[in-house]
Structure 1
Amino acid sequence: MDKVFQRVKTHRNGDEMAVDILAINGEYAVLIEAKSTLKIEDVKEHLERLEKFKTFFPEYNKRKVVGALGRIVIEEDSDKYAYRNGLFVIGESGDTAVILNDNGFKPKGW
């Protein structure tokens, strides 16, 4: 990724969209939602955000958009739900963050 932005907000037609972390390069825009405890409802909200992203951020219309969820604690098998819905799942490994998806994972594009 060439650029990483934190807490990005925009407004369109009286609605607001906020993205915790937006990472971009010439080909991709990655929307990352960061949660201390990840629940299935958080995954659903992020999927809705991804569906609306290009409406709120038309400057990224030519990029492939993928989603990721960073978390410390997982509840309700929300990591599996995110995986099945095409999202990257990011977790901790020592002092660094790692992508937890296996090699067979195929991210969904928006």
Structure 2
Amino acid sequence: MTTSEMEKGFQEIWKLFAETDKRFKETDQQIRATDRQLKETDKKIENLIGRWSLFVEGLVIPATERMFRERGITVRSVHPHVKVHRNGREGMEIDILAVNQEYVILIEVKSTLGVRDVNEHIERMKKFRTYFPEYANKKIVGAVAGIVIQENVDKHAYKKGLFVIAQSGDSVKILNDGEFKPTEW
């Protein structure tokens, strides 16, 4: 191999390196653009989920008094999005709080209700009196609501002593049978 052939070979190698470097830079730009698009999509999805959740709550809130009156619990007031904070950090949020002289009903609302949602709501129920001492003298019962209820989640919630609320036509209804007695926390 002559010197000129070696020089030509090195030039070709350098040319390949330059092309590879250029392609890496182009790929890096494409990855950044894809990351930006994913972030924008995530924001849009979060916004859509937030609106969907408000829609679902919008079905449950106006039906709350009727549903519980049919179960022998006369609701005097319904409060959406009840929040409390302790020590500047900890907090609790209740999607819908329904109250009368005897009961406080904590309703967790989900577009898709899963076992984890039920279990988290039960944990919230256990801590409720700590965060809301003004209701210490009332019976605390819970309900979970969902437009879509994952398989057997309604049975799980029922066994845990929660009312189960689901879509029925253009409104919502309590699915529990007439024999159901809610757990009091």
Q: Deviations over 1:36-58 (max 9, x none)?
A: 10100000000000000000000
1:98 aligned partner:
173
Q: Is the 8 A contact 1:82 1:88 kept in 2?
A: yes
Give distance in 2, aligned partners of 1:26 and 1:103.
22
Give distance in 2, aligned partners of 1:43 and 1:11.
22
TM-score by length of 2: 0.58
Alignment counterpart, residue 27 of structure 1, candidates 85, 88, 102: 102
1:38 aligned partner, one-letter code: L
2:35 aligned partner:
none
Alignment counterpart, residue 49 of structure 1, candidates 124, 130, 148: 124
Whether 1:80 aligns to 2:155 is: yes
2:77 aligned partner:
3
Q: Deviations over 1:43-101 (max 9, x none)?
A: 00000000000000000001100000111111141111000000000111112221100
Q: Is the 8 A contact 1:66 1:107 kept in 2?
A: yes
Structure with max Cα Rg? 2
Identity of aligned residues (%): 56
Q: Is the 8 A contact 1:40 1:76 kept in 2?
A: no
Pairwise CA RMSD of aligned residues? 0.9
Give distance in 2, aligned partners of 1:89 and 1:74.
10
Q: Specify which structure has the higher proportion of strand.
A: 1
2:143 aligned partner, one-letter code: A
- Mark the runs of 5 or more structure 2 residues left unpaired by the alignment: 1-74
Moved over 6 A (4+): none
- Mark the runs of 5 or more structure 1 residues left unpaired by the alignment: none
